[in-house]
């Protein structure tokens, strides 16, 4: 049985950690002195602060001051803000309804274009035609990723070099490198045709590759006074 604390006001109250007794301690002026009530109130408030505080949101300096951490606000990545070329590429991709990880894609295209001396706008145009900027695209001809790398042709090399063809940066870099090799060997638009997989010994793919080049040129902004037929010569 719990002991009884007598009070001139309420004539008795059970002592212990129960709600009625705690309320009595703070409400009854006779049962507790003012100084003792203040002590209990201070301890109780301290327990509440320690129980519900979030240390992860506080930073302690050498001067023992406390300040809340800044909450990161959603912003355009700094690479887009700081590099005009990436910002322009981001706007270009937005124009063609590229969504999702557009700033990341824009940065990868510009970086790969600079590395391999290929116009990033051309890389972006091919990417849009090939996959609509889908990093997980897989074609019926076993081409995969955002730049549609043809596995039967390039898969072994990608595997040898440890290239992740489903990673945006890896796929764009590898695709740009392949495009650079074709352009250096065969010229601009002939190289684009080869990237598509065109083989001059196979006439069956001529029409399809002509349509492909026309689409790339349309996005790239090839001068209107130069026809697709001239480009394919």
CA angle 230, 150, 108 (to 5 degrees): 80
CATH number for the region 122-232 comes to 1.10.530.10
Residue 228 banded pLDDT, cuts 50, 70, 90: very low
Q: Say what the pTM is.
A: 0.63
- Residue ranges of the domains in the chain? 1-46, 122-232
Q: What is the mean pLDDT of residues 158-164?
A: 97
List phi, psi (to 5°) of 136. -110, 20
Position 41 pLDDT exceeds 50: yes
Rounded Cα gap, residues 107 and 90, in angstroms: 8
Rounded Cα gap, residues 113 and 120, in angstroms: 5
List phi, psi (to 5°) of 149. -70, 125
Q: Which of 163, 161, 166 is nearest to 146 (CA)?
A: 166
Share of the chain above pLDDT 70, in %: 60
Q: 169-189: per-residue pLDDT in tens?
A: 999 999 999 999 999 999 999
Position 37 pLDDT exceeds 80: no
Q: What is the mean pLDDT of residues 119-145?
A: 96
What tokens appear for 181 in the block? 């090799």
Q: Under DSSP, is residue 44 helix (H, G, I), strand (E, B) or coil?
A: helix
Position 80 pLDDT exceeds 60: no
Residue 185 confidence (pLDDT): 96
> Do 176 and 123 touch, CB atoms closer than 8 A?
yes
- In this predicted model, which residue has the larger pLDDT, 88 or 66? 88
9 to 4, 13, 34, 134: CA distances (angstroms): 14, 10, 16, 78
Average pLDDT score, the chain: 77
Residue 132 confidence (pLDDT): 94
Burial call 175-185: b when 16+ CB within 10 Å, e when fewer = bbebbbebbee
- In this predicted model, which residue has the larger pLDDT, 102 or 55? 102
């Amino acid at each position: 049985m719990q002991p009884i604390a007598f009070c001139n006001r309420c004539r008795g109250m059970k002592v212990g950690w129960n709600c009625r007794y705690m309320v009595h301690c703070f409400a009854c002026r006779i049962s507790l002195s003012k100084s003792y009530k203040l002590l209990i109130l201070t301890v109780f408030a301290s327990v509440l602060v320690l129980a519900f505080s979030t240390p992860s949101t506080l930073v302690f300096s050498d001067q023992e001051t406390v300040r809340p951490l800044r909450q990161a606000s959603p912003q355009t990545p700094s690479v887009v803000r700081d590099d005009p070329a990436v910002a322009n590429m981001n706007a270009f991709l937005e124009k063609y309804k590229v969504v999702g990880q557009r700033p990341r894609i824009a940065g990868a295209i510009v970086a790969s274009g600079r590395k391999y001396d290929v116009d990033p706008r051309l890389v972006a145009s091919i990417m849009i035609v090939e996959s609509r900027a889908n990093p997980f695209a897989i074609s019926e001809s076993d081409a995969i990723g955002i730049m549609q790398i043809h596995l039967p042709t390039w898969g072994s090399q990608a595997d040898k070099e440890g290239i992740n063809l489903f990673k945006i940066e890896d796929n764009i870099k590898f695709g740009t490198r392949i495009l650079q090799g074709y352009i250096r060997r065969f010229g601009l638009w002939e190289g684009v045709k080869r990237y598509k997989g065109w083989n001059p010994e196979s006439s069956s793919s001529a029409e399809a590759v002509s349509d492909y080049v026309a689409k790339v040129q349309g996005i790239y902004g090839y001068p209107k006074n130069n026809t697709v037929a001239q480009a394919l010569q």
